[in-house]
Amino acid sequence: MDKLAVPANTIAVIQKYNFTFQKRYGQNFLVDPRVTARIVEESGVGPEDTVLEIGPGIGTLTQYLAEAARSVVAVEIDRSLLPILEETLAGYDNVTVLCGDILKMNLPELAETYNGGKPLKVVANLPYYITTPIVMELFESGAPVSSVTVMVQKEVAQRMQASPGGKEYGALTLAVQYYASARIVANVPPNCFIPRPDVGSAVIRLDVQEGVSCPGTDKKALFAVIRAAFAQRRKTLANCLKNAPELPYTREDVTAALQQMGLPETIRGEALSLEQFARLTRLLTLQR
């Protein structure tokens, strides 16, 4: 089977099967072989690795992954793509296609079945309508995952990789950076897809290292502080924390913790790094 990652081959397959794109599934298929090759290269996938691909579509990226990896497990929600995948991946004996919603899959079980419980590498051109839930599920499911290299909306990639102080910095940045180190590895324009998305895209690589920058910090308490800090972006951090009904800290706790960190009462949450949020949380929980 010819490689699908050129417009003519993708169009031929789509016409042959009379496939109609489902907007609700975020279906934008890659048609640039440089991009597919680059994603695989940046993912670091090699002959030892088992890859979890989310949303193989017609199998464009899957073909490249199958050539680089030991094996590939690809989870696709759209049943109408299954006969297509059967044909386009027929030449590869190391690919398993599962039909289902990635958000409803038991990921630890999947890692156990297909990789003996060893860490998976996740590589995907993600459906943009559920990027954040998928990435958070990969981190929080308890499944062994060593890295996640994914195409996402450019703006989302920038939020994941942002530094304190900028407008892109927020709760998503801190959540992602709690679990992983994030690095944008490529920018991809709309003309690399059929159909063209309305937004620019970027490939981001997340190397999983849960909690390493927050030693001794209670994860639940940390995430509660971060959520409260960004619930009202225009307010000061002190006001957000003091007025958050879901936090158990008193106004005095908050003032004392900020003072101990040498931070002014006027500072906003967006100015604090993850390490500072972690220290703030430790001080607040110690005062309880």
Which residues make up the interface to ligand SAM (CB under 6 A)? 25-30, 54-57, 60-61, 75-78, 101-103, 125, 127, 130
- In terms of CB distance, is 101 or 109 closer to ligand SAM? 101
Torsion of CA 42, 48, 53, 56, to 10 degrees: 90
Q: How far is CA 237 from CA 165, 261, 264, in A?
A: 13, 13, 10
Q: At closest approach, how far in Å is the CB of 136 from ligand SAM? A: 13
- Facing residues of 180 across strands? 208
Q: At closest approach, how far in Å is the CB of 250 from ligand SAM? A: 43
Q: At closest approach, how far in Å is the CB of 68 from ligand SAM? A: 15
Residue with tokens 């919603």: 101
Chain position whose Cβ is nearest to ligand SAM = 55
Q: How far is CA 210 from CA 154, 259, 286, in A?
A: 24, 28, 22
- In terms of CB distance, is 125 or 217 closer to ligand SAM? 125
Q: How far is CA 99 from CA 15, 47, 87, in A?
A: 22, 25, 16
Q: How far is CA 188 from CA 21, 34, 62, 151, 205, in A?
A: 21, 10, 18, 9, 14
DSSP, collapsed to helix, strand or coil, labels residue 193 as strand
Q: At closest approach, how far in Å is the CB of 178 from ligand SAM? A: 24
Q: At closest approach, how far in Å is the CB of 7 from ligand SAM? A: 12
- In terms of CB distance, is 49 or 78 closer to ligand SAM? 78
Q: At closest approach, how far in Å is the CB of 124 from ligand SAM? A: 6
- In terms of CB distance, is 115 or 153 closer to ligand SAM? 153
- In terms of CB distance, is 92 or 223 closer to ligand SAM? 92
The secondary structure of 215-254 as a DSSP string is TT--HHHHHHHHHHHHHTTTS-HHHHHHT-TT----HHHH
- In terms of CB distance, is 26 or 269 closer to ligand SAM? 26
The two three-digit tokens of residue 130, written as one number: 């559920």
